[in-house]
């Protein structure tokens, strides 16, 4: 399932704004940090699949993303994270584990994406602007 156009527009607008703020060395609020972590996951997965996220961002970033989602109250992220963790469990290289899993990791991401971004939007602000 893909994001609706309206939800994707919100995500892109706010994701780009938070990345720009981060790039300028401005400290992010907890909501902005949550958006930033999910944005990195989204942009990497959109460009090259979930395996690309692990190739470019690594396991430490993944663990930070999970912790940020959990701490930020993004409850829809936990089932997705559990699925991904099951795919990479025991792997020396999570990237290769996901590559070897074929299309399954990307299907898992897209099955959870709308719920995650919808909840993220609600958590970020009532006005839908970070």
Per-residue model confidence (pLDDT) at position 52:
97
- Report residue 62 CA to chain centroid gap: 9
Per-residue model confidence (pLDDT) at position 1:
65
Going residue by residue through the chain (130 aa), what tens digit of pLDDT does each one get?
689 999 999 999 999 999 999 999 999 999 999 999 999 999 999 999 999 999 999 999 999 999 999 999 999 999 999 999 999 999 999 999 999 999 999 999 999 999 999 999 999 975 544 4
What pTM was computed for the model? 0.93
Q: Domain limits of the chain?
A: 30-124
The one-character DSSP state at 73 is T
CA gap 103, 51 in Å, rounded: 10
User: Comparing C-alpha atoms, which of 5, 41, 10 is closest to residue 130?
Assistant: 10
């Amino acid at each position: 399932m893909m994001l609706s156009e309206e939800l994707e527009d919100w995500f892109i607008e706010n994701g780009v704004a938070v990345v720009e703020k981060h790039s300028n060395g401005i400290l992010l609020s907890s909501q902005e940090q949550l958006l930033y972590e999910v944005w990195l996951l989204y942009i990497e997965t959109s460009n090259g699949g979930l395996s690309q996220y692990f190739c470019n961002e690594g396991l430490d970033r993944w663990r930070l993303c999970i912790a940020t989602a959990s701490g930020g109250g993004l409850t829809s992220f936990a089932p997705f994270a559990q699925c991904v963790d099951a795919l990479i469990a025991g792997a020396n290289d999570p990237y290769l584990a996901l590559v070897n899993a074929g299309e399954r990791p990307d299907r898992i991401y897209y099955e959870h994406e709308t719920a995650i971004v919808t909840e993220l939007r609600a958590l970020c602000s009532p006005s839908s602007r970070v």
